[in-house]
Amino acid sequence: MYQGYQKYVPFQPVSLPDRQWPDKVIEKAPIWCSVDLRDGNQALVNPMNLEEKLLFFQTLVDIGFKEIEVGFPSASETEYEILRTLIDRDLIPDDVTIQVLVQARPHLIRKTFEAIRGAKNVIIHFYNSTSTLQRKVVFRTDMQGVIDIAVEGARLIRQLTEEEVKQSGANIRYEYSPESFSGTEMDNAVLICQRVLEELGATPENKVILNLPNTVEMATPNCHADQIEYFCRNLKGRDSAIISLHPHNDRGTATAATELGLLAGADRVEGTLFGNGERTGNADIMNVAMNMYSQGIDPKLDFSNLKKIREVYEECTEMKVGERHPYAGELVFTAFSGSHQDAIKKGLDYMREHDSQYWEIPYLPLDPADVGRAYEPIIRINSQSGKGGAAFIMQQNFGYNLPKSMHPEFGTIVKAACDEAGREIQPKEVFDLFEKEYLQVGYPYNLKSYKLNEENDVDRHTVVHFEGNLRFKDKDHIIQGDGNGPIDAFFNALRTVGITDYQFLSYHEHAVSLGADSKAISYIELSAPGGKTVFGVGLDNNISLASIKGIICAINRAEARKEKESK
């Protein structure tokens, strides 16, 4: 038996029986703040160097972030230098606010103010830990001791800000985080934040950001939402605060915690691209934003170039985006299952036929084009693929519209090839199988030459006359026949040499473009001796000859099948 779970104490949720958030819906994007260059960066095996941070910063700007936490300048010389480079090289757009993190400790606060000199828009983000556990085991102090640290920090920050604004005219705003908020008694979290708001002189015109970190995710997302709603309802001066979320992903539910936290009243979200960050990471802003996008809400961030963004991320962080990562993973627009492939194809057809302005494709919650991906790799062919998958590839990649009745036959051929190869097969291999099976069958019957004439009889009915040299194995036969069209005439000609037991069932044709050239392709369905059906395909510049070739192909395939079965 698995032992050890008894040592864990279950999370004690805040009591909020009249919670309102379950009845809310997300209707607009929050204020986003990327903490990739700080929280994300500090969690890397090899933190980003200057060049990488600059590239990452530019990428965040291009995505549309207006608030970017660029570092912890009092924590290391490298962090300090990077911030100076951004300011001195004038790399920060006027509409972007940089955010810098600092502990609520006087010498670090002073150093931070030195680091931001010359920046136009800055958020000074200070924090101290408030949780029950941290107070007990790390700081060994009571709540008053923790409040004093925050209030003194706030007082110094306000004083230095006033001096800086007088000197440089910079636009400086404040953010306070009761670190480990979700492990703090809610009344204590409210109390300390209220004291900080007072000390900073927050007003509805000059709001202070109160960031409520789920520093370690300890409970189900509904517990986090209850904490946020409780906090918002009990904070005096709620209208002088911007409530910010900062979820981490220890239980794998940071996206849900963010979304429920927004329902509970938060205005702002801190997180990272692809959820990089301490331990299991921060909330994945791309994921949350694209969830909004796929609900018809403008996320105010642009991930239309997600592939490129992922490349920059992987290059700068040396981390990998998983293949099934929502919206960004290599495999997220790929359907392996046959029924999924079939439904996707039907959805695509439906949208085309109805000229639908809405996205109505089963199994694809998002149009891949919206994140810079193409349709082609959606369907991959392996032994799990259904009969429609191979036909879909032939249509999408090569412009061959196999009739529906032919899908099972070709699907079986492709499935057998996958089973034999023991792997997924590529579109080109699907095409090669089609070519080999239908376009390269010239035995035992082979039409060496032919002539078609068309006349009208006295009743003005069209009569087509076929004459040709049909080789059977190594013997030539001159055959001729009349009919009301080329197919009929050819069939009648076949009867003259004893080929009588094939019945014509169906015929489809369309033009297919082959580079600069265009040809006709015909799909012929015959009933073969014994009642089984068989398909043949003919490809030619001449539409009549394409049909005749299709008939010969079907007969040759039936003959080959007969021979195989007799062995």
- Which of the choices Zn ion, ligand KIV, none does residue 177 contact, using the CB cut-off of 5 to 8 A by kind? ligand KIV
* CB-based burial label for 517 (10 Å; 0-12, 13-18, 19+): exposed
Among 21-29, 211-219, 317-325, 339-347, the segment contacting ligand KIV (CB under 6 A)? 211-219
Taking the least distance from each CB to ligand KIV, the nearer of 147 and 425 is 147
Q: Is 213 in the site for ligand KIV (CB under 6 A)?
A: yes
Q: How far is CA 184 from CA 6, 117, 134, in A?
A: 23, 34, 9
Taking the least distance from each CB to ligand KIV, the nearer of 75 and 543 is 75
* Structure token pair of residue 246: 């900062």
Interface pattern 91-130 for ligand KIV (x via CB under 6 A): ----------x-------------------------x---
How far is residue 560's CA from residue 214's CA, in Å, rounded to a whole number? Answer: 69
Q: How far is the CB of 39 from ligand KIV (least distance, A)?
A: 5
- Collapsed DSSP state (helix, strand, coil) of residue 401: coil
Taking the least distance from each CB to ligand KIV, the nearer of 277 and 538 is 277
Q: How many CB atoms lie within 10 A of CB 363?
A: 15
Q: 254 Cβ partners below 8 Å, 6+ apart?
A: 214, 217, 247, 248, 271, 275, 280, 281, 282, 283, 284
Q: How far is CA 546 from CA 34, 470, 486, in A?
A: 61, 16, 10
Strand order in the sheet with 503-514: 503-514, 517-527, 533-540
By CB under 6 A, the count of residues binding ligand KIV is: 10
> Which stretches within 402-485 are classed as H helix?
407-421, 427-434
Among 160-168, 210-218, 436-444, 482-490, the segment contacting ligand KIV (CB under 6 A)? 210-218
Q: Is 36 in the site for ligand KIV (CB under 6 A)?
A: no
Instruction: Give the residues lining the site for Zn ion (CB under 5 A).
Output: 39
Q: How far is the CB of 408 from ligand KIV (least distance, A)?
A: 56
CB burial string 382-404: b at 16+ within 10 A, e below: bbbbbbbbbbbbbbbbbebbbbe
Phi, psi of 449 (to 5 degrees): -155, 160
Q: How far is the CB of 211 from ligand KIV (least distance, A)?
A: 6
Q: Is 246 in the site for ligand KIV (CB under 6 A)?
A: yes
Q: Is 71 in the site for ligand KIV (CB under 6 A)?
A: no
Which of 39, 164, 226, 229 is in the footprint of ligand KIV by CB under 6 A?
A: 39
Q: How far is the CB of 150 from ligand KIV (least distance, A)?
A: 13
- Collapsed DSSP state (helix, strand, coil) of residue 8: coil
Which of 179, 284, 342, 437 is in the footprint of ligand KIV by CB under 6 A?
A: 179
Which of 74, 131, 177, 276 is in the footprint of ligand KIV by CB under 6 A?
A: 177
Taking the least distance from each CB to Zn ion, the nearer of 164 and 284 is 284
Strand order in the sheet with 475-483: 445-456, 462-472, 475-483
For ligand KIV, the binding residues (CB under 6 A) are 39, 101, 127, 177, 179, 211, 213, 215, 246, 248
